[in-house]
């Protein structure tokens, strides 16, 4: 499981300038400090101090490349709900461990309600998803129910 970033015990309140910096960095994490400073109306040194403060405090957890999944041959996306047959910490850990090992699983969310998990799964195509569904998810420990929601089109996606 991916470790959660440590949050500094005391963080400066997120003010309007912090919000503007965060919006710009979400839109373009590779923006130069000089351009970022210009866009938010700060000097380069003041902007850099604020960005570093946001990084140290854990508000900015990291930077990454946004990949074109279709260009990588991963044009099939499904959201999958999973119910477990046992509601124990061990059953959850075993299931989560199995999902962490599956490269098709891009997100694992432990949720409340009538099911235990929502997964975001990416595959090459329907046949590859069927293989994952049967041979990986269907064989995972304590899985009782699986419901797949196939993404037809994505009109908004703000994940970085």
Q: What is the per-residue pLDDT for 1?
A: 47
Q: Where are the domains of the chain?
A: 16-57, 76-150
Half-sphere exposure of 132 (CA within 13 A, CB side): 26
Distance (Å, rounded) from C-alpha 81 to C-alpha 64? 27
Q: So what CATH class is 76-150?
A: alpha beta
* Bridge partner list, 122: 77
Q: What is the per-residue pLDDT for 108?
A: 98
Q: What is the per-residue pLDDT for 160?
A: 64
Distance set, CA 146 to CA 68, 119, 137, 155 (Å): 27, 10, 8, 25
Q: Tell me: domain 16-57, CATH 1.10.10.10, correct? A: yes
Q: What does the pLDDT profile of the chain (160 residues) look like in tens digits?
A: 455 545 445 556 899 999 999 999 999 999 999 999 999 999 999 999 999 999 999 999 999 888 888 899 889 999 999 999 999 999 999 999 999 999 999 999 999 999 999 999 999 999 999 999 999 999 999 999 999 999 999 999 887 6
Half-sphere exposure of 13 (CA within 13 A, CB side): 2
Q: Residue 33 has which token pair?
A: 């400090």
Q: What is the per-residue pLDDT for 70?
A: 85
End-to-end CA distance of the chain: 19
Distance (Å, rounded) from C-alpha 143 to C-alpha 37? 50
Q: What is the per-residue pLDDT for 12?
A: 62
Distance (Å, rounded) from C-alpha 69 to C-alpha 77? 9
pTM of structure: 0.77
């Amino acid at each position: 499981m991916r470790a959660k970033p440590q949050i500094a015990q005391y963080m400066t309140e997120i003010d309007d300038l912090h919000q503007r910096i965060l919006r710009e960095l979400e839109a373009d994490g590779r923006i130069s400090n000089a351009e970022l400073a210009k866009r938010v109306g700060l000097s380069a040194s003041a902007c850099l101090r604020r960005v570093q403060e946001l990084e140290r405090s854990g508000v900015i957890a990291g930077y990454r490349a946004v990949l074109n999944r279709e260009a990588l041959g991963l044009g099939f996306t499904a959201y999958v709900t999973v119910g477990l047959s046992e509601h124990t910490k061990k059953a959850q850990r075993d299931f989560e461990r199995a999902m962490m090992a599956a490269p098709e699983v891009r997100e694992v969310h432990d949720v409340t309600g009538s099911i235990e998990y929502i997964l975001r799964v990416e595959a090459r195509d329907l046949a590859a998803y069927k293989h994952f569904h049967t041979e990986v998810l269907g064989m995972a420990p304590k899985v009782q129910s699986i419901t797949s929601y196939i993404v037809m089109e994505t009109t908004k996606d703000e994940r970085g």
